[in-house]
A and B are shown apart, each in its own frame.
Chain A
Amino acid sequence: MISFLILMSIVVCFSSVLALALNFQWGQGGMVNFGLSGFYTLGAYAAALLMLKAGANTFFAVVGAMLIVAAVCGLVALVTLRVIEEDYFAIVTLGVGEMLRLVSLNEDWLTKGALGLAGIPRPLGDSVPPEMYLYFLLGVSLLLLAGTYAVLTVIARSPFGRLVRAVREDDVVAATLGKNVLWARVRIFAIGGAFIGLAGSMHSFYYQYIDPTQFTNIVIAYAFMAVIAGGRGAHLGTIAGAAVVMVLLEGSRFLKDAIPSLNSDQLAAIRIIIIGAGLIALLVWRPQGFLKEYRLRTELE
């Protein structure tokens, strides 16, 4: 039981990092990233490949993955944000995410396609005694989660954070104040991308084996639900939301035992239906989420 709880907690950790990244891009920056699962895939594969093929150690693999995803996100933002409409940007991110997913599936020479990449080493896997390892991994995950939270909160409270929120509220006004709206948005998206990369790396370390099926659109739904449940823009709330969502959904795996008459396809379908319904219900009844957003008093005009 204990190890199950530890494993779940680790999963909550990197799901929270992912949700925090999405929250930064969307809740703070107003840019919805429907391609989340694709960028997450990119981060996971980047970290894995850097370790397996380029022989990098954990630290460089993680940093590399973060940089790669940040760069791709920044590029996407730069190229597509000429058209400022949120609606179109969302569609483009959906498409880019799909493309990334397809690359992971089809470019066998790089990613081994559907077979996936196995044997991803865990950080300091050799140095730490096996019976302690899970605790160690949990510790590392919590540390990374705390670090993500700290960095993003610092950014949110900085002048750049205020700029980000100003752009989100009304980019026309922000532009007339002389702020470079496009560049701010590129940076927002890239910073969020970096943490998507971090979450992806953590995913790779945890599962030690990755293949394209792990990164379906359900990942997006998880992250969105967490962000919405937590209240867009409120970092602490996002973590709370991620935890609640994860527990509910991973817990629903036990439905299988409760309702033996359904086959596994049907159970998978029900779980997704619950996710979709939960998403809509959250939007309708709890748009503010569970916690409020931090706002400097001076920002309220």
Chain B
Amino acid sequence: MYIVQTAFNGVITGVIMTLPALAVTLLFGVLKFPNFAVGAMMTVAAYMAFALNAQLGWPLLAAALTAALAMGVVCIALDQVTFKPLRERGGITLMVASLGLGFILENIARFAYGNSARSYVIELARPFRVADIRMNWEQMITLGVSTAAMLAMYVLLTKMPMGRAMRAVADNPALALVRGIESPRVIRWTWFIAGILLGGGGVLIGMDRALEPPMGSNYLISVFAAAILGGLGSPLGAFVGAIVIGVVSELSTLVLPPNYRIGIPLVAIALVLIFRPQGLFGQPYIRK
């Protein structure tokens, strides 16, 4: 039964990762480079929610929603300042810039709140058992939020014009231009949505673990593994990939020393890139 408990914990970890994995896959599809600042963006959003919740006394839900929306706006601004001037350069330059941005954001959090761990102010509900598996209400909320986010993304990308535009830009940016899609607008919306997803992810991490400056970056490799496994550019892939990485990572602690948990996402990335670079649901990369 211990295995089932561990697997369940893995599902929860995976579910927490779906939001940032969705953000990663969106950003990669539209902006065409892996953005290493996403971990720190989650951290900043988590601390924003902390400020509202623990310092101003807001209920966590309101704080989280506000922080997520704020993060959406902040991300648009960050893109204008950091990535837009570099838009014409290659992927490597953008990656290095994203790394730098990650440093800055994480240390802004560190500057403001120091290195010691913090927590949100929420009522500690007692854990309960379902079929012999221990769960708690935060985990149920996490499941609910992630599922809702998934569904919202699905609706956005398939039914709404802006979502279609995003997929079009991810598919063929030049063609999108001549089909009337204004790329700056699509980029702003992509960042706004990615920011909201990262904000939500940050709060969920803060609820699951504690708030400390490296909280987002700790998940960076796993989130990328999830997005790559699922197929960069595929939202369904991000969801599935996140759950798989989460479950396998948790289960691996039964056989490996816990500190090596990070090996799992790495091995996953290596395996995917060697055997099936487009991931589970992605499209084979066509060199143009």
Direct contact of A and B (CB under 8 A): yes
Does B128 reach chain A (CB closer than 8 Å)? no
Does A284 reach chain B (CB closer than 8 Å)? yes
Does A39 reach chain B (CB closer than 8 Å)? no
Q: Given A269-B107, A270-B107, A273-B108, A32 and B262 touching (CB < 8 A)?
A: no
B266 engages A96 (CB within 8 Å): yes
A85 engages B285 (CB within 8 Å): yes
Q: Point out the residues of chain A lying under 8 angstroms from B106, CB to CB.
A: 272
Which residues of B112-144 are within 8 A (CB) of A?
114-115
Per a CB cutoff under 8 Å, which of A32, A105, A172, A277 touches B92?
A32
A102 to B266, CA, bound (A): 13
A87 to B107, CA, bound (A): 25
Per a CB cutoff under 8 Å, which of B111, B114, B224, B257 touches A273?
B111
Smallest distance from the beta carbon of B217 to chain A beta carbons, Å? 9
The residue in chain A whose Cβ has the minimal distance to the Cβ of B28 is: A87
A265 to B103, CA, bound (A): 14
- Give the tally of cross-chain contacts (CB within 8 A): 128
B273 engages A90 (CB within 8 Å): no
Q: Point out the residues of chain A lying under 8 angstroms from B74, CB to CB.
A: none
Per a CB cutoff under 8 Å, which of A86, A98, A224, A278 touches B262?
A98
A273 to B92, CA, bound (A): 21
A276 engages B100 (CB within 8 Å): yes
Does A45 reach chain B (CB closer than 8 Å)? no
A278 to B115, CA, bound (A): 23
Cβ proximity bits A81-121 to B, threshold 8 Å, 1 near / 0 not? 01101111011101110110010011000000000000000
Q: Point out the residues of chain A lying under 8 angstroms from B114, CB to CB.
A: 263, 265-266
Stretch at the interface among B81-89, B148-156, B159-167: B81-89
Q: Point out the residues of chain B lying under 8 angstroms from A26, CB to CB.
A: 92
A105 to B224, CA, bound (A): 23
Does A5 reach chain B (CB closer than 8 Å)? no
Cβ proximity bits A60-100 to B, threshold 8 Å, 1 near / 0 not? 00000000000000000001101101111011101110110
Which residues of A221-268 are within 8 A (CB) of B?
221, 224, 228, 263, 265-266, 268
B115 engages A88 (CB within 8 Å): no
B110 engages A265 (CB within 8 Å): yes
A91 engages B263 (CB within 8 Å): no
The residue in chain A whose Cβ has the minimal distance to the Cβ of B102 is: A276
A157 to B130, CA, bound (A): 69
Cβ proximity bits A265-301 to B, threshold 8 Å, 1 near / 0 not? 1101110110111111001100100000000000000
A272 engages B101 (CB within 8 Å): no
A90 engages B34 (CB within 8 Å): yes
The residue in chain B whose Cβ has the minimal distance to the Cβ of A84 is: B287
- Chain B residues proximal to chain A, CB less than 8 Å: 33-34, 36, 82, 85-86, 89-93, 95-97, 99-104, 106-108, 110-111, 114-115, 221, 224, 228, 257, 259-260, 262-263, 265-266, 269-270, 273-274, 277, 285, 287
- A selection of 15 A-B contacts at a CB cut-off of 8 Å is A34-B95, A80-B270, A86-B92, A88-B277, A91-B221, A92-B270, A98-B262, A99-B266, A221-B100, A228-B96, A263-B114, A268-B110, A273-B103, A279-B99, A280-B82
Known interface pairs A221-B103, A273-B107, A276-B101; 4 further A-B residue pairs with C-beta atoms within 8 A, sorted by A's residue number: A34-B95, A224-B99, A272-B110, A283-B100
